[in-house]
Amino acid sequence: MGVDSKRRYLSQLEAEGLKEVVPDDFPGKVIPGGNGGNIVVTTLDSVINWGRSNSLWSLYFGTSCCAIEMMQTGAARNDYSRFGFEVARASARQADLIIIAGTIVNKMAPVLRRLYDQMAEPKYVIAMGACAISGGPFYYNSYSVVKGADHVIPVDVYVPGCPPRPEALLEGMIMLQKKIKTENMSQKVNPIDGYDEGEIV
């Protein structure tokens, strides 16, 4: 539905007769915003979301070539600490973002899952590079590559490229910040619920 500066509630549109906003085959869930009854909660939401999105600390997790471009994004010319991603933490219990930079292999998949489970909520995931999205150049004829990191953990933002430029990774991170700003505290769904059984939220 996107981020709008002017809030419009479905009930408002219904009243005005302009309801044709959501088509029938829309592949998501539409949550009606309420009739202005929860003004206090929405302001609290925006403060909390502002705090969360502007200070995401990522975990050191780079397996192969994309890790070099991630290090280059953290270095002096393109600097991700101007957006709040100040430090990269070595321990998963102190991080709230994991950037999967590199190929995930059959032997590494349980390690990734364990690291994700060790993180405290709320936690977010960015899949960087073609290998983490779908197996990349190693899709055909390889017996040991997991064809996409979203077979192991649920992913929020996908950044394509082989390897993606630092500017592309920064756009992915800013897109994640925008996604966090639209969250609603009372209706927050944990993406790992039902993930192992195959339901995708």
What residue ranges bind another protein (CB under 8 A)?
Answer: 60-65, 67-69, 71-72, 75-77, 90, 92, 102-103, 105-108, 111, 115, 137-145, 147, 162-163, 165
Instruction: Calculate the alpha carbon distances from 37 to 30, 41, 42 in Å.
Output: 18, 9, 10
Instruction: Say if residue 47 is exposed, middle or buried (CB neighbours under 10 Å; 0-12, 13-18, 19+).
Output: exposed
The secondary structure element, H or E, covering residue 181 is helix 166-181
CA 148-153-157 angle, 5° bins: 70
Nearer to another protein, 119 or 180 (CB): 119
Q: Please, what is the minimum distance in Å from the beta carbon of residue 149 to another protein? A: 14
Give whichever of 36 and 137 is closer to another protein, judged by the CB atom.
Answer: 137
* Shortest separation between residue 12's beta carbon and another protein, angstroms: 49
Based on CB atoms, which residue is closest to another protein, 120 or 162? 162
User: In angstroms, what is the minimal distance from the CB of 57 to another protein?
Assistant: 14
CB 79 → another protein: shortest distance, Å?
10
Smallest distance from another protein to CB 99, Å: 13
Nearest CB to another protein, comparing residues 35 and 142: 142
* Helix ranges restricted to H, 101-165: 109-118, 130-134
Find out whether 184 and 31 touch, Cβ atoms under 8 Å: yes
Provide the pairing of β-strand 157-159 with 124-128.
parallel
Tokens encoding 170? 């920064």
Cβ closest to another protein, residue 12 vs residue 72: 72
CB of 52 to another protein, least distance (A): 24
Q: Among residues 49 and 103, whose Cβ is nearest to another protein? A: 103
Q: Judging by beta carbons within 10 Å of its beta carbon (0-12, 13-18, 19+), is residue 183 exposed, middle or buried?
A: middle
Task: Please say whether the beta carbons of 93 and 120 come within 8 A.
Answer: yes
